[in-house]
Structure 1
Amino acid sequence: MKDFLKFSDAKVLITGGLGFIGSSLARRLVQLNANVTLADSLIPLYGGNLFNVHDIKDQVAVNISDVRDPYAMAYLVQKQDYLFNLAGQTSHIDSMNDPQTDLNINASAQLSILEACRKNNPGIKIVFASTRQIYGKPEYLPVDEKHPIRPVDVNGINKLAGEWYHLLYNNVYKIRACALRLTNTYGPGMRVKDARQTFLGIWVKNLIEGKPIKVFGDGLQLRDFNYVSDVVDALLIAAINPKADGEVFNLGSTEYINLKNLAALLIEIFRNGIYEIVPFPSDLKAIDIGDYYSNYTKINQSLGWSPCVSLKDGLKQTIEYYIQNRTYYWE
């Protein structure tokens, strides 16, 4: 995309830059000749992994810092042209077990990042990674941006606060910001040693290890998925297009699938494996949202984004990646 030439020589900061999506974005920005700084806490509970950038480690600056540190953020945002604000606590269960930490990372830290920008770099453009989780249990499908917002867990409430702080600073302080509501992002680099980032990670790990894929409930819950390269495209497009400023956009896919069929598809691609339908753990059942898939018409019509990678192709690339690189992602 010719507009991506705007990133050539641009200064770009990515929070959560050693994580799954952040590292994939960094790789693309390096190809576009941007000057990339990655900020990541590398706290083991979260998604950061130095192997995610092993191939570009000499072409990016890495700053081991926590978004909860206002002094670090005040320093890092200076002179940056773009901030991709991807750092976050993503586990829904962790948010219920430790709500204060989720609040600190997903809400309080976001406010201090925005304050750092207001005081040190009001000309920056920010793209914030939000989540479909803010909608809660859908009233209708596919879910568009006008759907009522009723989060079912602490994570959804705090991510919503973080998102709206960005919109507020856009509207009041004219710090250009927008938010993308991500659905299930998957691909090489995602956390697979547990389900803290996405359930698909532990499914892939179990498949490769010859363990059963455990499908909770009846397995008929519908979900949509975005391959990570499509999400990177959306982030880049939102960063350079002024039509994005002050807006929220759903990502999503025209492909949606129930979890039982998803497990079967993984087994078909891998040519081995089994899945088991098992009862929901009580803590997960309490916050399950049932069927969900997004309507992404708004970002398609406004910014021209649509996903390109099919679910089958994306899963194939993901499985191949972890077969080759499992030692860097397993416990």
Structure 2
Amino acid sequence: MVNLQTFAGARVLITGGLGFIGSNLAHRLVELGANVTLVDSLIPEYGGNLYNIAGIEDRVRVNIADVRDEYSMNYLVQGQDVLFNLAGQTSHLDSMRNPYIDLDINCRAQLSILEACRKHNPGITVVYASTRQIYGKPNYLPVDERHLLHPVDVNGINKMAGEWYHILYNNVYGIRACALRLTNTYGPRMRVKDARQTFLGIWIRNVIEGKPIQVWGDGSQLRDFTYIDDCVDALLLAALHPAASGQIFNLGGLEVISLRDLAALTVEVAGGGSFEIIPYPADRKPIDIGDYYADDRRIRTMLGWQPRIDLRTGLARTIAFYREHRHHYWDVQVEGV
């Protein structure tokens, strides 16, 4: 059984550390007594937000740097015990509009990070945040790790390459690395000012502002969702468990729900609001994956991970967070301040 108290005194580096997942992970690691360094570029189009570390800002080290900067990464990986490699370009639409930027961040930069580890800290443990997007349109459900990979956008292709660079460096160079294929992670501190990170973020913003939630298509598409606390649990387990080395794991959630029902649940939990079913925007339809939900038995069996937060509870916590802190997430732009 993995003991998370092992992180006490550990030196931990988080790329994308001021973003959604990275900052929530940082809060947990600080509670566990880790020495945490956060790396983030604070580029406005991405998820970094200094308010995400409110309450722990004096207990973490923040380095404003871009993972594409090889010299910075060569320095930052030195002396670290664990690297949670979470930095990335997450917008599927942006990847189609600006494929070279996506290639730079999600592919080339990942190779540079791994080279920095190989040259300057080969004993480090690396946990990489991959995505279910690399599966593309599922051939069967639920989707397990043996499913064919056929991404439907540039982002999925580059994330797939980034994932496999990590597995290659594990297998060839002995750098302990694994990948978690995340699916619809949501919760406090996620980007909600637009849909670049997750559609659920803009849904929550709209319901709080009294605007209708827009459900694209017919609303029958099935999805599963991982609450951020459960995602953080999985990242921590993957970093510590000996069986994780060289492995790839799906993350899922406790329930599968249609987007129409999710919109209705969001309105119900918020205590008001509405939703509307509208046709797909022309630029979105070609990269839609239809139904998707994960078979995550592998991580449950091998690492002992178990999601704990149901969708209703997670939505309630998330909506309450943004009602209290909305000023820091969309009324003014604090990113880069």
TM-score, with length taken from structure 1: 0.99
**What is the DSSP-based 3-state SS (H/G/I as helix, E as strand, rest coil) of the residue aligned with 2:29?**
helix
1:182 aligned residue: 182
Task: State the match for 1:36 in structure 2.
Answer: 36
Deviation at 1:227?
A: 0.3
Identity over aligned residues, as a percent? 67
The residue type equivalent to 1:72 in the other structure is S
Output aligned runs, 1:211-290, within 5 Å. Answer: 211-290=211-290
Asked whether the equivalents of residues 2 and 237 of structure 2 are also in contact (C-alpha less than 8 Å), the reply is no
CA distance in 1, matches of 2:259, 2:5: 39
1:133 aligns with 133
Whether the aligned pair in 1 keeps the contact of 2:2 and 2:240 (CA below 8 Å) is no
For residues 169-190 of structure 1, what are the alpha-carbon distances to aligned partners after superposition, in whole Å with 9 as ceiling and x for unaligned? 0000000000000000000000
Aligned residue in 2 for 1:16: 16
Could you say what the CA RMSD is over the residues aligned between the two structures, in angstroms?
Answer: 0.7
CA distance in 2, matches of 1:271, 1:161: 43
Secondary structure at the aligned position of 2:162 is classed as helix
Deviation of residue 271 (structure 1)? 1.2
> How many residue pairs align between the two structures?
331
* Correspondences of 1:168-179 after superposition (within 5 Å): 168-179=168-179
Q: Matches of 1:167 and 1:279 in 2, distance apart?
A: 39
Q: State the Cα deviation string for residues 43-82 of structure 1 (Å, max 9, x = none).
A: 0000000000011000000000000000000000000000
Q: Deviations over 1:85-115 (max 9, x none)?
A: 0000000000000000000000000000000
Distance across 2 between alignment mates of 1:271 and 1:42: 34
Residues of 2 paired with 1:265 and 1:176: CA distance? Answer: 41
Residue 266 of structure 1 aligns with an amino acid whose one-letter code is: T
Aligned to 1:210: 210
The question of 1:301 aligning with 2:301 is answered yes
Structure 2 CA distance, aligned partners of 1:114 and 1:76? 12
Counterpart in the other structure of 2:124: 124
TM norm structure 2: 0.97
SS, match of residue 286 in structure 1: helix
Give the Å deviation of 1:163: 0.2
Residue in 2 that maps onto 1:201: 201
Aligned equivalents of 2:248, 2:317: Cα separation in 1: 29
Q: How far did 1:139 drift?
A: 0.4
Residues of 1 paired with 2:279 and 2:307: CA distance?
33
Off by >6 Å, runs of 4+ in structure 1? none
Shift of 1:25: 0.3
Aligned to 1:77: 77
Alpha-carbon distance in structure 1 between the residues aligned to 2:311 and 2:209: 22
Kept after mapping to 1: 8 A contact 2:179/2:249: yes
- The unaligned stretches of length 5 or more in structure 1 are none
The residue that corresponds to 2:60 in the other structure is 60
> Following TM superposition, by how much is the alpha carbon of 1:117 offset from its aligned partner in structure 2, in angstroms?
0.2
Amino acid at match of 1:44: P
Whole-Å separation in 2 of the counterparts to 1:15 and 1:295? 27
Report the alpha carbon displacement of residue 270 of structure 1 after superposing the two structures with TM.
1.0
Q: Give me the whole-angstrom Cα distance separating, in 1, the residues matched to 2:193 and 2:128.
A: 26
Alpha-carbon distance in 2 for matches of 1:46, 1:289: 23
Q: Spell out, residue by residue over 1:250-305, the C-alpha distance to the aligned partner (whole angstroms, 9 max, x if none).
A: 00024010001000001111111110101100110010000000000000110000
Structure 2 contact 254–311 (Cα < 8 Å) conserved: no
Cα distance, 1:2 vs structure 2 = 6.2
Structure 2: give runs of 5+ residues left out of the alignment: 333-337
- Is contact 2:18–2:48 with CA below 8 Å preserved after alignment? yes
In structure 1, the partner of 2:91 is 91
Measured in 1, the distance between the counterparts of 2:97 and 2:160 equals 19
Partner of 2:51: 51
Paired residue type of 1:304: G
Matches within 5 A, 1:95-106: 95-106=95-106
Report SS of the residue matched to 2:218: coil
Paired position in structure 2 for 1:312: 312
